[in-house]
Structure 1
Amino acid sequence: MNTSRHGISVGIERVDDEILLTMQIQGKLTHQDYEHFVPMLESALQGIEHPYINFYVDATELEGWELRAAWDDLKLGLKHGNDIAKIAIYGNKKWQEYAAKIGSWFISGEAKFFESREEAMDWLKEEKKALW
């Protein structure tokens, strides 16, 4: 039996209208992974009129998305794109850098790829920029 590990580990920090979402992604993401992740995000955003979201994504173990999961990711970006200030993607594959560039098309903020965890976190901590 061949077992493949996949999923999203999530950390959510909320201070007033600011949210830091940290994600460790592993394997090839599935629709079921998003079925677990999206309700957590929605719960964290509940009651915030103008959320300000920074994402830190550790994609060093990400292998990709199933087609339906890629669609889930696109829908999430379209729904909350105006709330996202920054997405820092820490990875180790060239295609992840391209994914960050494409992802930036669907958010009002910025998405950047980093090969260093420290540089990614430092960039997220830089001065807050208005989203609205």
Structure 2
Amino acid sequence: MLRILPETKENLLAVQISKELRVADFDQYRNLLRDLMGKYKEARLYYEMIDLDLTDVSAVAAVENGMFDVVHGLDYGRVAMVGEKKWQEWAANLISPVKKKGVRFFDLAEKEQAMAWVQDE
């Protein structure tokens, strides 16, 4: 499930995902990011994962999202991924090279620091 967080403003998209992530969730997420990338020089992303297992992510959606990241990597500003599992940290490190400013992983207990970091110049 995708939830848009109230911290979303200007060039920052703040989302929380939990339980399961399907193609429709990824489509909504990508459309929001694409809109920000069209309006601003860079789009910042705060991506919080709660109670999400790797098996909860649609394989098709994950591949489509990976392709989006490769195509639009230079349109990203800071990206903070917040999670609670080792595979989530691994995923952040895997996609970091295709993002203009990389990806920084934060533990769920550090979500306030992650939000402050992603908003910092």
**Which TM-score band (shorter chain)?**
0.7 to 0.9
Structure 1: tracts of 5 or more residues without a match: 1-6, 128-132
Superposition RMSD on alpha carbons, in Å? Answer: 1.8
CA contact (8 A) 2:37 2:75 kept: no
Alpha-carbon distance in structure 1 between the residues aligned to 2:66 and 2:82: 19
CA contact (8 A) 2:13 2:44 kept: yes
Structure 2 residue identity aligned to 1:26: S
Structure 2 residue identity aligned to 1:57: Y
Deviation at 1:107, TM superposition (A): 1.0
CA contact (8 A) 2:33 2:43 kept: no
Q: Are 1:41 and 2:18 counterparts? A: no
Deviation at 1:25, TM superposition (A): 0.4
Query: Which of 111, 119, 122 is residue 113 of structure 2 equivalent to?
Result: 119
Higher share of residues assigned strand: 1
Instruction: Compare CA radii of gyration and give the structure with the larger one.
Output: 1
Q: Match of 2:9?
A: 13
Structure 2 residue identity aligned to 1:117: K
Alpha-carbon distance in structure 1 between the residues aligned to 2:115 and 2:89: 16
Alpha-carbon distance in structure 2 between the residues aligned to 1:96 and 1:57: 11
Structure 2 residue identity aligned to 1:91: G
Deviation at 1:39, TM superposition (A): 2.4
Q: Secondary structure of 1:57's match?
A: strand
Higher share of residues assigned helix: 2
Q: Secondary structure of 2:64's match?
A: helix
CA contact (8 A) 2:36 2:43 kept: no
Structure 1 residue identity aligned to 2:90: Y
TM-score when normalising by structure 1: 0.76
Alpha-carbon distance in structure 2 between the residues aligned to 1:43 and 1:84: 12
CA contact (8 A) 2:37 2:43 kept: no
Alpha-carbon distance in structure 2 between the residues aligned to 1:95 and 1:125: 25
Structure 2: tracts of 5 or more residues without a match: none
Alpha-carbon distance in structure 2 between the residues aligned to 1:111 and 1:122: 14
Q: Match of 2:77?
A: 85
